[in-house]
Structure formats: C-alpha cells, structure tokens
Chain A
Amino acid sequence: MQQNALAQRQQCDREDADLLKRIQRSDQRALATLYDRYAPVFYPFALRITGSHEVAEEVVHDVFVQVWEKGNSYATQNGSVYAWLAALSRMKALEKVRTSNQKKKGSDGEALQPRAPLENEEKQGGQETILVFKGYAEEVRNMLKNLSKLELRLLELSYYEGQSQSDLARMLRIPLGTIKAKMRRGIQKLRQAPAQEGKRP
C-alpha cells in the first residue's frame, strides 16, 4: 500500500468523524458535505444491489436521512464512518430487494434484480469522477487483482446478493468447506489493505 494513498484514507476517516460529530449537533452543512463525499460511492453501490435507479435513489435518501436522525448510533470504536455507511447502505438496499420480492411474488411484475456490472465498468477509472479518497480507491482496486476470480465472485455474491454460504455451495456445486475456505482467503486479502488508523502497522 502506498504511503500517500493510506495517508489520504486516514485523513478522510478523521474528517468523516468530525463531520459526524457536527451532524450529531444538527449541523446540516456537515451532512451536505458527507453526502457530496459518499453519495457517488453508495448510489452505484445501491444500483448494483437493487438493479433500479429509482430504488437506488431511495436507498441513498434513506441512508442520509437516517444518518441525520440517528447519527448517535455510530460508535467510533466500531470502525470508520465509511464502513458504517457501507453497512447501512447495504442493509437498506437488501431490504428493498427483499420487500419487492415479497410484493411481486405471484404477480406478473418484475422483482428487483441485482444489476450485473457492465463489461469493463469495474476496470476503467479514466472518465469517472472519483471524489472519495481517489488514490486509496485505486490502490484497493490494484490490490483486489490478487483475488482469484472465484474468491471475488463469492464475496460479491455474498455482499451484493446476500447469498449464504450454503446457498453458494448449492448454486455453484462446490463443497461448503471449499466455499468457506475461499471466502476466508478472499477476505484475508481484502484485510491486507490497512483501512483504519492505528489498526495494523
């Protein structure tokens, strides 16, 4: 991990923690700043999970309104604000998929479907406007090249589609033990990115 990329991430984490403190004191400008910073990350993220632009917008809306109303539920000792936002966004998006599936059950309508990434969408960084810890994000992308295709696929299926390990074993016809081991390995590789200040040398 490049030193300046890591420093950038750490700087960002510190600023986020300050923003959240201000949000807890009802400072709307702090929320606007946090939005400008992370909506461009969590909007495509919610789109990836729900497959719908409209629902992805709802997810981002709900996440930031919840941050405003329940900013107090974030506890510093549990990690970065970014990871907290990611967990919140994921939960909200999966919830939308689940309720839409329940509603659509038995009707002709299309249920929400995870949206498969477009070809080479995940590789090119050229024309996109990366707003959040650019250098760090690029480092992470480089680092994730160390993951095997299967490791990455398993993580994505769990993360974006909420598949359980036994679902994956059935679906991919791979023994459960192998799934578990591959996922552990994949996550181990992710963990090599020093994400949080003072966590690892």
Chain B
Amino acid sequence: MKTEEQRHSQLELCIPYVFGRLNPGNRKQFEAHLETGCEQCKRELSELYEAIALLPLLLKQEAPPSGLRQRILSRLSSKRSEPPRAAKPIPQRGVVEASVTKAPPRSWYLYASIVMGVLLIISLLFFLNDQLRTTGELEKKLTDLQAQIQEKQDILGILQVQKVEILQLANMDAGSQAFGRVFWEPEKRHAVVQVVNLIAEPADKQYQLWLVKEKKYLRVGEFDVNKEKSNVFAVMTLPVGERQEIEGFAITLEPRGGSTQPSGAIQLRGATK
C-alpha cells in the first residue's frame, strides 16, 4: 500500500490520463514525466487500465452479427502487416537475417550461426540493461530484442523437433545463384523458409511463399530480402502440415502486402513428389 508521502503530484494526473481527458499541456508534461521512467506512475497507470477495463464486464455479452468474423478474417488474408513504421522501429514480423553465406550452409553451420545470434543478443540485453536501466528507450529496445530472440528461438524450436520435413527450393532462372529450403514441423505446421542469394526486392514488392496443394497455390506469408546475396530466414505457419497434402512450395515476387494468388514469375520452387 502506498503511503501519502510517497505520492507525488503527477500521480494525480494518472486517472484523467487513462480516461484520455488531460488537456494537451498537462498531457505533454505528464508524458515527459513518464519518459523519465517513473516506476510509480507506470505501475499506477497499468493498474488503472486494468481496473477500468472491468467496466465492460458489466454489460451483457453479445456476439456481433455472424458475418463480421468472416469479414475480418478475409481481410487478413488480403492485407498483411504494414511495413515497419519509421518512428518506432519494430523488427519485421517473422524475419531474421543471418550472416551472409556463399555456399549452401551445412545444417550444423546454420544451427551454429543461429545459436551465436541468440547468444549475442542475450549478452547485448544484459549490457543494455545495465547501461540504460531507467530510460523509456530501454523498454523499446528490450521489446525489440526480445522479439528477435523469440524469432530465433522459434527457428531453433522448429529445427530441433524430432520430425521435421525439409524441401529444397531451386531457382527457375539459369543465371541466378539463388536457392532456398523450407523446414517444417508437420504437426504444428510451423515452418522456416530459408532463402540465399535472392536479389533484394524493390520497395513496393515483397517475396511471398506459396504452398501448392491440389494444384492450387495457398498463401503462406511474405518476407523481405533487404540485402542482396544474404541468407534470410522467415518463420511462418502453414495452412496444412502433412507431407502427403503438400505438393510443393513456390516463391514469387508480389506487391508489398502480398497477393491472394501468385501474380509474379516463380523465383524458387520445390516439389515433394
């Protein structure tokens, strides 16, 4: 329980702040105070948000008209995550860039490079934690780094499972050095797509992975190749997981945000049969 002496004047502002009713001047001042990393106000705010969020529970629950669910879900498949905003850098969803390799990496090499990456980030985390303990910047950085670690752990997780399927992807252009592979866990349908030497996409385009089933192309997800000749890993979830159900995978270049059907030429392709 907080004692009265421990309270400071800004704490007063927490209630109008969570209701969004501070005037612009006070709001700016209060946010500047939060930026200094005041733990007391942060805790207070978080508890207030939890508390007022209980009010909707007083209302009678009622499902929206049934069409809404479908409308939202179909909207998702036609529009994916927006490009990272400049103001607050967020690691590109599901994409981790590993070191540049010229030859197809053997799997121990791949594994070791990921482990190194994880270790590096963990040590960086501890370093930052010591250096910037109180700044608001720290939290953002930590969140970013934690997301990166999560991605790498996801990759490790998929590579470590007992039953992992692998399919090589070959390029469709004789002059290209590009190749790739898809690793996936049939049961959970978690997948990692790895591509090497694909050229960096233009700003308005994105690479897209497709799963071929019954001669149809099912959308899996988009990823970016920012640097030419780099070795890129992207984590995805497949619409189906069993090898018998999957005829193959293909990668095309699509307008940024992805397409529902392939519109660009196939860059890489692999078939299970």
Q: What is the interface of chain A, defined by CB distance below 8 A to chain B?
A: 21-22, 24-28, 31-32, 35-36, 39-45, 47-48, 53, 56-57, 60-61, 64-65, 68-70, 72-73, 75, 77-80, 82-84, 86-87, 89, 91, 94, 117, 121-122, 124-125, 128-132, 136-137, 140-141, 144, 155-156, 158-160, 162-165, 180, 183-184, 187, 190-191, 193, 195-196, 199
Q: Given A26-B237, A43-B64, A91-B20, A65–B76 Cβ distance below 8 Å?
A: yes
Partner of A164 from the list B16, B65, B154 (CB cut-off 8 Å) is B16
Report yes or no: A77 in contact with B139, Cβ–Cβ below 8 A.
Answer: yes
| B52-89 contacts to A (CB < 8 Å) | 52-65, 68-69, 71-73, 75-77, 79-82
Residues of B within 8 A of A77 (CB): 46, 139
Pairwise interchain contact B63-A39, C-beta atoms closer than 8 A: yes
Q: B residues engaging A (CB < 8 A)?
A: 15-16, 19-21, 46-65, 68-69, 71-73, 75-77, 79-82, 90-91, 93-94, 139, 143, 147, 150, 154, 221, 235-237
Q: Are A28 and B76 in contact (CB under 8 A)?
A: yes
Q: For the complex, what is the distance from the CA of A26 to the CA of B95, rounded to whole Å?
A: 12
Q: How near does chain A come to B72, taking the closest CB pair, in angstroms?
A: 5
Contact A60 B68 (CB under 8 A): yes
CB distance from B4 to the nearest CB of A (A): 13
CA distance A162 to B21 in the complex (A): 7
- Shortest distance in angstroms between A180's beta carbon and chain B's nearest beta carbon? 8
Kindly list 20 other residue pairs between chains A and B, CB separation below 8 angstroms, not including A43-B64, A44-B56, A69-B82. A26-B237, A28-B237, A32-B73, A35-B72, A41-B57, A41-B61, A48-B59, A61-B68, A64-B72, A68-B76, A77-B139, A86-B52, A86-B53, A91-B20, A121-B59, A131-B61, A156-B55, A187-B48, A190-B52, A191-B48
B50 contact set on A, CB distance < 8 A: 79-80, 83, 191, 195-196, 199
Question: Nearest chain-B residue to A117 (Cβ)?
Answer: B59
Are B90 and A159 within 8 A (Cβ)?
no
